[in-house]
Structure 1
Amino acid sequence: MSINIVVVDDDPGFRRIAATLLTARGLRVVAESSDGASALAAVRDHRPDGLLLDLHLPDTDGLTVARRLNEQEDRPKIVLTSTDKSFWSPEELQHAGIESFVAKDKLFDADLKSLFTP
């Protein structure tokens, strides 16, 4: 069974790298989004198992997207990414429905498959 992922980041280069890493780890990228609105639409359309979600998006922030998804019954596992990891606590992430955080510069070394495994 494949694990379907949506990659959300406003940087197309990072989306490409993230998709390549996820695919190399045995995950399937079903969609990519560059902002919060299209991320919510992609989740609605594709019903992914997971969301690799950037914190800073042009129309909103990743915490807001996560909170909106957290209101849904069958929501994906959310892994937040950012270059900035200093301004929120693990409690804030958990409250927003975010399972884990991976700094963008640590994505290559992260065990991505286990982050999204149910």
Structure 2
Amino acid sequence: MYINIVVVDDDPEFRRIATMLLTARGLRVVAESGDGAECLAAVRAHRPHGLLLDLHLPDLDGLSVARQVAEEDDPPRIVLTSTDESFWSQKELEYAGIERFVAKDKLFDADLRALFAATRP
């Protein structure tokens, strides 16, 4: 069974790299989004198991997007990414429905499959 992921980042080059990394680890990227509104539409359309979500988006910040996604029926696992990891607490992430944070420069070394493995059937 595939684990379906939506990649959300306003940088198309980062989306391309993240998609390559996820695919190389046996995950399937079903959609890419460049902003929060596109992300919400993609989550509703594709019902992914996981969401790789950038903190800084042009319309909404990643925490706001995560809170809205967490309100969906059977929400996906959310992994937040950013180059800035210093201004929020673990409690703030959990409140937003974010399970994990991975700095963008650590994404290559992260066990991406394990981050999204505990998914709905």
TM-score range, shorter chain: over 0.9
Which residue pairs with 2:113 in the alignment?
Answer: 113
User: Cα RMSD (Å) of the superposition?
Assistant: 0.4
Q: Which amino acid aligns with 1:104?
A: K
Matches of 1:14 and 1:69, distance apart in 2:
21
Q: Which amino acid aligns with 2:11?
A: D
How far the C-alpha of 1:71 sits from its partner, in A, is: 1.1
**Cα deviation code 1:35-78 (max 9, x no counterpart):** 00000000000000000000000001000000001112210000
Which residue pairs with 1:27 in the alignment?
Answer: 27
Matches of 1:62 and 1:68, distance apart in 2:
10
Tell me if 1:61 matches 2:61: yes
Identity of aligned residues (%): 76
Gaps of 5+ in 2: none
Gaps of 5+ in 1: none
**Cα deviation code 1:11-51 (max 9, x no counterpart):** 00000000000000000000000000000000000000000
Q: TM-score, normalised by structure 1?
A: 0.99
SS at match of 1:108: coil
Instruction: After TM superposition, list the pairs within 5 Å mapping 1:72-83 onto structure 2.
Output: 72-83=72-83
Q: Which amino acid aligns with 2:113?
A: K
Tell me if 1:84 matches 2:87: no
SS at match of 2:73: coil
Q: Which amino acid aligns with 2:29?
A: V
Q: TM-score, normalised by structure 2?
A: 0.97
Matches of 1:7 and 1:79, distance apart in 2:
10
Moved over 4 A (4+): none
The total of aligned residue pairs comes to 118
Which residue pairs with 1:94 in the alignment?
Answer: 94
Q: Which amino acid aligns with 1:28?
A: R
